[in-house]
Amino acid sequence: MSRHTQTQHRTHGPRFLPVAAVPPASSLGGALAGDAPARAVTWELWTLEALQAVGRAMGWASCCKRSDGAEPGRRRRKKKDTAWRIFSLKELQSATNNFNYDNKLGEGGFGSVYWGQLWDGSQVRCGLFSSISVFRSVPVSQRDDPLMLIPSTLHSSMDQYHILCNSPLSHQSSLSLNAAKQIAVKRLKSWSNKAETEFAVEVEVLARVRHRSLLSLRGYCAEGQERLIVYDYMPNLSIHSQLHGQHAAECNLSWERRMRIAVDSAEGIAYLHHCATPHIIHRDVKASNVLLDADFQARVADFGFAKLVPDGATHVTTKVKGTLGYLAPEYAMLGKASESCDVFSFGVTLLELASGRRPVEKLSPTTSAKQTVTEWALPLARARRFGEIADPKLQGRFVEEELKRVVLVGLVCAQDRPELRPTMSEVVQLLKGESAEKLDSLENDCLFKPGGSSFQSSDCVGEGEGRSPGADGGIQEAVDSSETVSSAS
């Protein structure tokens, strides 16, 4: 019997486990917020408490049948069924034919990606990860490429979804292609304290937040040393894959779609900063972590590096994690993670979305010198030559005022001094063009005065205070490797 037939003949669904209500922010012993004493707790106890907190955060009903006739363990919602669940390892093994090599779609230093099918006929992709916070895969044709073994933080793309699109398995006529039930799964390759921490952080954050511009959690699996997280599947991949990956030649991102993506992703990050309790710093905002659903609506993803910020804290000092080209200077140099660091990263992403350029590019094929997208775009913006910043693939089909707005917002977000950057709520207002006064103030910002020679005009900062971001956006370890929380005086 084929694996498809075996899967389709299952007549019973997965069991749903009872859990309690949403936990307080301290449910993980302060570890997610950077409380140093909490790290003294043994990893076994910490993990148990974390997973219990995750279960409570998911807010499932009890296992008893509800009076309204709802299925046990499910949470009834008005518009659509978005119930989370706990997957068993047996389910995911069955879905992938026990992670059979024939189901393997790609692999790299981080692990492997498998295709599978759930019992109800929906498609599932299972990713095998050594650092599960980074959701990527490698094309089958590049499995033996040693460059694929570079540590995950040095990769500039995730593009995990394109493998399924290329796979013959995705074209089997016998499969049910219900988009609402397609999912993607991360699987921990080898257990470690670091990976366990990132697993608990990501599930905790995803269980806490609900927003249309954040990637939805479908559930998780934690059996023995197996750790898997299940998400909604995004068929249009990510901004990165559409701009620089295999779909770049298709030019799917019209200007209208780019504007909607910019606003949607800004709203998702603004929710993390201003509405989530406690507030959340993403710490890895980039083009490959902004996923696109079937309608090209943005979903911010990958919360493995996220930090929960206690009330009153201005920043968290921690070891630097992130991606080349997107790191704010104060974070790369001193390890000071704040909401403003996400603003910087989002500014780079905006410029990437508008221009089609990568965050860091060589000045020419014959030289090793590099230039950031901010360094490239700023002189053009000062000269009001916004049309030259637009992605050539648009072929001039864009709204000039909207392009100018996106470029100016991106540049003001990506300036060196964090106190001069806007908040994400202000970014949303600027991108939507809701305040003519703020737009005028933005256009007349001293950063954009003609004749400036560096990323920050001398009129904006004092002598020696400004600093142009490094061309390589290099990652450095924090000066203080311990995690501390600083509050405003």
C-alpha separations of 188 from 56, 113, 152, 215, 329 in Å:
22, 11, 14, 19, 31
Which residue is catalytic, options 284, 342, 391, 416? 284
Q: Known catalytic residue: 391?
A: no
Q: Is 307 exposed, middle or buried (0-12, 13-18, 19+ CB in 10 A)?
A: buried
Task: Evaluate the CA torsion angle 316, 318, 324, 328 in order and state its sign.
Answer: positive
Which residue from 95, 75, 94, 72 is spatially nearest to 83, judged by alpha carbons?
75
Q: How many CB atoms lie within 10 A of CB 274?
A: 13
Contact present, 486 and 314 (Cβ < 8 Å): yes
Q: Which amino acid is at 443?
A: E
Contact present, 119 and 10 (Cβ < 8 Å): yes
Helix axes 424-432, 339-355, angle to 10 degrees: 30
Known catalytic residues are 284
